[in-house]
Amino acid sequence: MILVTGASGQLGHALAKRLAARGATFTAVQRPDFDFEKAETVASCFENAKPSLVINAAAYTAVDKAETDQEAAKAGNHTGPLALAKLCEAADIPFIHVSTDYVFDGDKGAPYLESDPTSPTGVYGATKRDGEEAILATNAKAIILRTAWVYSAHGKNFARTMINAGRKMPILRVVADQRGTPTAAGDLADAILAIADKISATGWRPEYRGIFHATGGGETTWHGFATAIFEDAAKQGYQPPEVQPIATADWPTPTRRPPDSRLDGGKLTKVFGVTMPAWRQSLHDVVKDLLKPENTA
């Protein structure tokens, strides 16, 4: 039995869809039944599922709001996941947790390795980093996947925002001096399930424990991402807006974003044999889905 948390989110939704398609035995839980701010719901979902593996896709993900909503961010990213990790540790089962490129300040100037020191620039990144450290200090069978710029046809994300904004405005201004890698939620779900398959096939191995970087292959900027979204949308008959490049300084946000948060995925390939698809390849299908009337929000 696999327990998936955060089923209403982008990653949780993609995981549940794939597990259902495989005919897997799983339970996918979400708020209000599973809420990191209500410890008893975490314990009862775990007890009801009696899982052999937990995949935590639940998190507090509102980066800017976290600056003024620190207790909720801490519960969603640190103390809540830690409570879940403790339950996994007591049951001696693997715990797959998801973290973020925002644990880094983005000043390295090259793709980050898992061994690089963290230096978050805001509350969201700091709570995710604290969660990583607490889980690794607690759980002998913890796998933490750091991802970035997650998008899908389900839920709130940059791709949906661009498609919606482009319907209303002829010109969009998008930041062109932040580098990173978009990650399709479906690709991340596939990587997680490949890891789960590997654990089932080999049994737990010591090298599985720890942090792994898991983003789409390649790199771009938010401006490059937006341009590609509209290129693919135009192929579906969407009328694209003009996308103008701007500097981060022209788009101030409460939390400073890392200027270059590229993550090196080599360890994921070496240990699990998993290489994430190039971000540009995955985009096309998601944009196609986003343009379907049922996904227009």
Ligand X SMILES: NC(=O)c1ccc[n+]([C@@H]2O[C@H](COP(=O)([O-])OP(=O)(O)OC[C@H]3O[C@@H](n4cnc5c(N)ncnc54)[C@H](OP(=O)(O)O)[C@@H]3O)[C@@H](O)[C@H]2O)c1
Kindly tell me which of 13 and 141 has the beta carbon lying closer to ligand X. 13
Kindly tell me which of 101 and 130 has the beta carbon lying closer to ligand X. 101
What number of residues does the chain have? 297
Q: Which tokens sit at 294?
A: 């049922």
Kindly tell me which of 26 and 60 has the beta carbon lying closer to ligand X. 60
Query: By Cβ distance, which residue is nearest to ligand X?
Result: 9
Kindly tell me which of 189 and 233 has the beta carbon lying closer to ligand X. 189
Cross-strand partners of 261:
none
Catalytic residue among 124, 151, 208, 238: 124
Give the shortest CB-207-to-ligand X separation in angstroms: 23
Q: Is 124 a catalytic residue?
A: yes
Give the shortest CB-147-to-ligand X separation in angstroms: 5
Give the shortest CB-178-to-ligand X separation in angstroms: 13
For 79, phi and psi rounded to 5 degrees? -70, -35
Give the shortest CB-262-to-ligand X separation in angstroms: 13
Residues that bind ligand X (CB under 6 A): 6, 8-12, 30-31, 34-37, 57-61, 75-76, 80, 98, 100-101, 128, 147-150, 155
Other CB atoms within 10 A of residue 212 CB: 25
Could you give the residue numbers annotated as active site? 124
